[in-house]
């Protein structure tokens, strides 16, 4: 076993060789484990503007506030722009009565949002970090999600949207890095989506604001500034419940969402170059409901599938995908369904590079399936 002194000498070398370094304006960033892949095609026709993901989200909320006089944006520190600057300038433009701060109480934010939504107003509530959404779990799962059902469709929370920054960021540790989508995917009455970049973030947020059910948008926080692409300046919506095939392939299906999609796209290139393996890469986009048809059709074509997500392995949403694929595609499979995920431990700080399902672990997974 390594001594403490020796471990401290070895660890920096291990981290430096494991973490992807990205040049940015002459600097090297050591915290990114992925290379961002912008969408090749604009989601709709019309003029576009280059923006990052937090700017696209800001524009989506701006449009929602402009289109509906009842729309409200609220949460911890949103009045000055929020910790990730997603609501910058909105209070100045629309006033303190429509964009405002709340107390540091997620349960109270959710409860207030439910009440606002029940009056018919468009409520866009921010949870400052997805890690802190758990005090609001009861309000979201037992109240918002069930309102339509238990009132016999007399009332609903269909104009309610929660935004929550999630996922690994390079230095967030156990309270600022979690991916809690699977907790909420077990709840009928909710819709849960995860964008991979600016176009999806804007389109999904506007779709959620107009949806007839309460929605949660989990936004990978590492993409707020790292993800940059040409985004339509007008209003548009991305369909909830529809996966995107980002790359067609014949040998294996790779499924992910959020930041992991970009890891899988890089891995697909590596697999082609190093293993001569053709990968089909799918962004699930929507966790609840999820696009069973697109996933199963792809697996029936390729015969192999690897699911990758940052959340822990046990009961992660990949388990639901794996179970469905086994039920629907069993006779088409050439190998078992494989999951490459975070470990069943709290999210670490200095050991984050060894926790996340990076390109090296994913490539090893592909090699395992091909050689099965």
So which residues are the catalytic ones? 106, 176
Q: CA-CA distance, 128 to 91, in Å (whole number)? A: 17
Q: CA-CA distance, 84 to 51, in Å (whole number)? A: 15
- How far is the first Cα of the chain from the last one, in angstroms, to the nearest whole number? 33
Q: CA-CA distance, 21 to 82, in Å (whole number)? A: 28
Question: Two tokens at 4?
Answer: 């403490």
Q: Is 372 exposed, middle or buried (0-12, 13-18, 19+ CB in 10 A)?
A: exposed
Q: CA-CA distance, 62 to 209, in Å (whole number)? A: 12
Residues in the chain: 372
Backbone dihedral region for residue 253 (phi beyond 0: left; psi -120 to 50: alpha; all else: beta): beta
Q: CA-CA distance, 49 to 232, in Å (whole number)? A: 6
């Amino acid at each position: 076993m390594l001594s403490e002194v020796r471990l401290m000498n070895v660890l920096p070398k291990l981290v430096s060789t494991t973490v992807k370094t990205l040049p940015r304006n002459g600097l090297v960033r050591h915290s990114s484990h992925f290379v961002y892949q912008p969408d090749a095609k604009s989601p709709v026709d019309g003029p576009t503007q280059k923006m990052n993901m937090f700017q696209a989200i800001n524009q989506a909320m701006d449009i929602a506030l402009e289109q509906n006089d009842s729309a409200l944006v609220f949460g911890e520190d949103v009045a000055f722009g929020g910790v990730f600057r997603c609501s910058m300038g909105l209070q100045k433009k629309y006033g303190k009565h429509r964009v405002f701060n709340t107390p540091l109480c997620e349960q109270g934010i959710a409860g207030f949002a439910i009440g606002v939504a029940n009056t018919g107003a468009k409520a866009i509530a921010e949870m400052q970090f997805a890690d802190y959404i758990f005090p609001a779990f009861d309000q979201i799962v037992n109240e918002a999600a069930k309102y339509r059902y238990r009132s016999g469709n007399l009332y609903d929370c269909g104009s309610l949207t929660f935004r929550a920054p999630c996922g690994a960021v390079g230095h967030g540790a156990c309270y600022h890095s979690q991916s809690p989508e699977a907790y909420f995917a077990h709840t009928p009455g909710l819709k849960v989506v995860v964008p991979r970049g600016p176009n999806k973030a804007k389109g999904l947020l506007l779709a959620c604001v107009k949806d007839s059910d309460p929605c949660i948008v989990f936004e990978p926080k590492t993409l707020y500034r790292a993800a940059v692409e040409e985004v339509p300046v007008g209003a548009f919506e991305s369909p909830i419940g529809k996966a995107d095939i980002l790359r067609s392939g014949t040998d294996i299906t790779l499924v992910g969402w959020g930041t992991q999609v970009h890891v899988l796209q890089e891995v697909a290139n590596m697999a082609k170059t190093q293993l001569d393996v053709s990968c089909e890469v799918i962004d699930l986009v929507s966790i609840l409901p999820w696009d069973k048809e697109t996933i199963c059709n792809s697996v029936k074509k390729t015969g192999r599938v690897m699911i990758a997500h940052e959340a822990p392995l046990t009961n992660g949403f990949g388990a639901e995908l794996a179970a469905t694929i086994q039920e629907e595609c069993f006779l088409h499979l050439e190998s078992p369904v494989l999951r490459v995920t975070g470990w069943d431990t709290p999210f670490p700080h200095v050991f984050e590079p060894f926790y996340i399902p990076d390109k090296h672990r994913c490539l090893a997974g592909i090699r395992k399936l091909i050689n099965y």
